[in-house]
Amino acid sequence: MQPEAKMTFLDRFSAMRETQFGAFVPVLLALAAIWGYFGLVLPLIDLMSGEADSFRAIFLSPRNIYNLFMQSAVIATLAVGITIVLLLGDIDLSAAATAGVCAALLGVLVLSGVPGWLACIIVIFVGIVMGAAQGLLIAYVGIPSFVVTLAGLLGYQGLMQKILPTGNLNVGDPFVRGIARVLIPDLWGIVLGLAVVGMFAYANLRKQSRRKTLGLEQDSPLALWSQVIAFAAIVVAVVFTLNAYRSLPLLLVLLVAITALLGWITTSTPYGRSLFAVGGNPESARRVGMKVKRLRVSAFAIVGFMAAIGGIFGASRYGSVSYTAFAGGSLLLEAIGAAVIGGTSLFGGRGSVWNAILGALVIGSLGNGLDLTGASAADKLMVSGAILLLAVAIDALSRPGNGSGR
């Protein structure tokens, strides 16, 4: 009976993942495991073995959490963008290189005296054009996205080196730096958090009452309220933790706002529905009259947009633009890894931008935690690889009707 019991566990797991918030559970568990390990288990081991004379939760200190969020922000921005094309069943390998070109261009523009806000707008526009150009090749010429964006990766890396012959440029523009430096005052942060929680609760309750009047099946009140309470707990915990160190940084607010917008577009508009439809069954989407080609181009334009935002965030946070931080480094693979760890399928039709943010936190926490324990770069790479495999394995096992290895 052993294997059968195991099957029912898996079945339950996949049934849970089909629910609205169930998709978050695996990545949240991964995050909790990593935080638990670095934040509680390691300090305890140190304490027992006498290496430390008191319990020091460095990893879970507000200061480290703050840094962790800021470190993960650029990865998260790119991962959110990449999620959009993953939903279609495409991939974008050029996102990090696009971000690099945009950041380099931003640095050169502000150096030559263009005001920061104008430079940001120009750069965002350039990012959208770079993404859309690849999308045009994919949709209308019919080249697989892997090949087009691989070419884009190489080409944009070269372009970034052309823009930045020295490979490095400091960005001192107050507007650009301000994105990462400006902090929302503590009180306003709390008000903002509570407002978001209130809106979430209101939207959920309103939907429930409309369901009742329309005579539709209703969510169980337990599930409804536990969703609202879990959401509220996470928001309040994040705001108070960040307030305990500095304050809510503007960069994170912007990131969450953009993600919320994209999350809303992907789940609640005809446009987003068509993204999922094309990812699930392109032929079916075509037959019901969806403009699949235009959709592809627009999705790649969104990646370009998010890459440009990522470039701006990166330039703002580091105060400089360097080749290795964007195009030449591990940013691309970390961003794709974040999207996949979050539970977005590489084969299209399944995933969410919020999961990409959580996936980015997993990747960021891993790097941060291993740094704190003094692990070598080699260890970090190997552990990251193992986590990525584990995430994809969980995903494959818990998929309903799996077995085809997709």
Q: Interface residues with other proteins (CB under 8 A)? A: 18, 207, 210-211, 214, 216-217, 264-265, 268-271, 273-274, 276-277, 279-281, 283-285, 287-290, 349-350, 400-401
* DSSP secondary structure string for all residues of 87-147: HHT---S-HHHHHHHHHHHHHHHHHTT--HHHHHHHHHHHHHHHHHHHHHIIIII---HHH
Largest CA distance in the chain: 73
For residue 306, the minimal CB distance to other proteins (Å) is: 17
| CB hemisphere CA count around 232 (13 angstroms) | 16
- Which of residues 51 and 283 has its CB atom nearest to other proteins in the complex? 283
**Closest to 102 (Cα-Cα) out of 336, 337, 327:** 327
- Which of residues 11 and 371 has its CB atom nearest to other proteins in the complex? 11
For residue 399, the minimal CB distance to other proteins (Å) is: 9
Buried b (16+ CB within 10 A) or exposed e, 36-55: eebbeebbeebeeeeeeeee
For residue 276, the minimal CB distance to other proteins (Å) is: 6
For residue 278, the minimal CB distance to other proteins (Å) is: 9
Give the whole-angstrom CA distance, residue 210 versus residue 135.
Answer: 40
- Which of residues 2 and 287 has its CB atom nearest to other proteins in the complex? 287
Residue 398 burial (CB < 10 Å; 0-12/13-18/19+)?
A: buried
- Which of residues 17 and 317 has its CB atom nearest to other proteins in the complex? 17
For residue 266, the minimal CB distance to other proteins (Å) is: 11
- Which of residues 174 and 287 has its CB atom nearest to other proteins in the complex? 287
Strands 168-170 and 320-322: antiparallel
* Tokens linked to 253: 């607010």
For residue 160, the minimal CB distance to other proteins (Å) is: 32
For residue 120, the minimal CB distance to other proteins (Å) is: 23
| CB hemisphere CA count around 245 (13 angstroms) | 20
- Which of residues 380 and 399 has its CB atom nearest to other proteins in the complex? 399
For residue 334, the minimal CB distance to other proteins (Å) is: 26
CB within 8 A of 355, min separation 6: which ones? 23, 24, 27, 83, 339, 342, 343, 344
- Which of residues 23 and 251 has its CB atom nearest to other proteins in the complex? 23
- Which of residues 141 and 288 has its CB atom nearest to other proteins in the complex? 288
| CB hemisphere CA count around 275 (13 angstroms) | 26
